[in-house]
Amino acid sequence: MSRYIKILKDGDDDYVKWVAYGYDRMALGYFFEVAESTKGEDDVTIIDQSSALTKMSRAMMIELMTIYELPESHIEAVASNIGF
């Protein structure tokens, strides 16, 4: 299993937004999540997709990875249908 996190917004001490993504060959397949958190409150999930649970296609995974400017090597791995 691989899991990567990229912080998208961290300018305010009370607010953070991030993307978590990766590959879990045993359960979820490819997965992609965008969430935000404000100090003292529960996390709010904005996007929660996986190839196993929500039937996210590799094309959708690549599109999301491109939108959020994730590493090209990870995008290429998804395009080749291999874990990263």
- pLDDT, tens digit, for every residue of 10-58? 667 788 999 999 999 888 899 999 999 988 888 999 999 999 999 999 9
Backbone angles phi, psi at 59, to 5 degrees: -60, -40
Residue 30 lies in a domain: yes
Tell me the chain's radius of gyration from C-alpha atoms: 13
**What is the extent of the structural domain holding 47?**
2-79
Residue 47 lies in a domain: yes
pLDDT value of position 62:
97
Residue 65 lies in a domain: yes
Domain count, the chain: 1
**CA pair distance 76, 74, nearest whole angstrom:** 5
Residue 72 lies in a domain: yes
pLDDT value of position 59:
96
| Tens of pLDDT, residues 26-36 | 888 999 999 99
Residue 84 lies in a domain: no
Residue 12 lies in a domain: yes
pLDDT value of position 12:
72
pLDDT value of position 80:
94
